Amino acid sequence: MQQPHAAPTPVPSIVMPDAFVSAMNGFERYQRLERARSEHTLRAYRSDLENLLRECASRQVTTVEGIDLTLLRLWMGGLQELGLSRSTLARRSATARTFFGWARREGLVAIDPASRLRSPVPDQKLPHVLQRQQVDRLLQVRTVAQVDGASGQPSVEQKAVRDRDHALLELLYATGIRVGELVTLDLESVDHDRRTLRVLGKGDKERTVPFGQPALNALDDWLRRGRGVLAVAGSGSALFLGVRGGRLGQRQVREIVSKALEELGDTAARGPHALRHTAATHLLDGGADLRAVQEYLGHSSLATTQRYTHVSVERLRESYQRAHPRA
């Protein structure tokens, strides 16, 4: 294997060898059809693999069998020099191990070079969680900043967008669902009488998630007053719609939530996942059973859910420091 031992410099424009394209497509088919990975996971796998294989191609390596542990370590070292976070580095090394484990089973390599590739320990930062008073302020029916130029009042479409944004904020906090789960909801996903959602989570696992009366009220307002304004012939059964009538996308939801959180002015929390963190933490603060919260969030492992207990303990410690006379 011919390669200099200098830090790698990724070359995005380099042509991908046919052997790499074939292996990458085969790995993706396996993950989609046999492992039932979500489109989000598949995109992450493909992005990580393209980064690795283009780096290998830039070093004149054109077959999967030609990749060795030294090259993998150089690739990881170069990524570290680029300043990627430890969690991103950990994900990319995990992708490499998963890919080469598959390649070994498929006979593309005789020896798995990634079996000894060490993974950085991801940063264990506690997520930002909103206080209950902040949640109350966030979920107040918000006025529309822009108004119709002629009347000086919000337009019908702007009112519909306001109802939509209020409903999705209420639902994200009420259920703790992921943004990817929110945007796949259909009208029939909602049981209004039982106040539950039928959610399709990671690995195509379906679960039922309860929500409260405030979220139901906001949903009813959106469905009664707003959805019909934005709906078009091709809207189908999507629960949440964009301004052009199509199904609302993940990027749009992230922008909506981040803007709403930014307008609070007193929190570093950003994005829909902050509401998921907040919902889980508030459940545990209120005495909810850990396994119930695991089912509520759709976690496959209880260890993932246990992370939120650390958040709750930290919040308890902060309250103690502020309030106890001998803190």
Q: How far apart are CA 186 and CA 85, in angstroms?
A: 36
Active site residue 308: yes
Active site residue 202: yes
Q: Which of 91, 178, 277, 282 is catalytic?
A: 178
Query: Could you tell me which residues come within 8 angstroms of residue 58 by beta carbon, excluding any fewer than 6 positions away?
Result: 8, 9, 10, 11, 14
Strand order across the beta sheet in which 206-210 lies: 190-191, 196-200, 206-210
Q: Which of 276, 277, 282, 296 is catalytic?
A: 276
Tokens of 4: 């200099």
Q: How far apart are CA 80 and CA 120, in angstroms?
A: 10
What is the residue-wise DSSP string for 240-279?
Answer: SB-TTSSBPPHHHHHHHHHHHHHHH-S----SHHHHHHHH
Active site residue 178: yes
Nearest to 51 by CA among 16, 98, 6: 16
Q: Which of 202, 270, 307, 315 is catalytic?
A: 202
List, by residue number, the catalytic residues. Answer: 178, 202, 273, 276, 299, 308
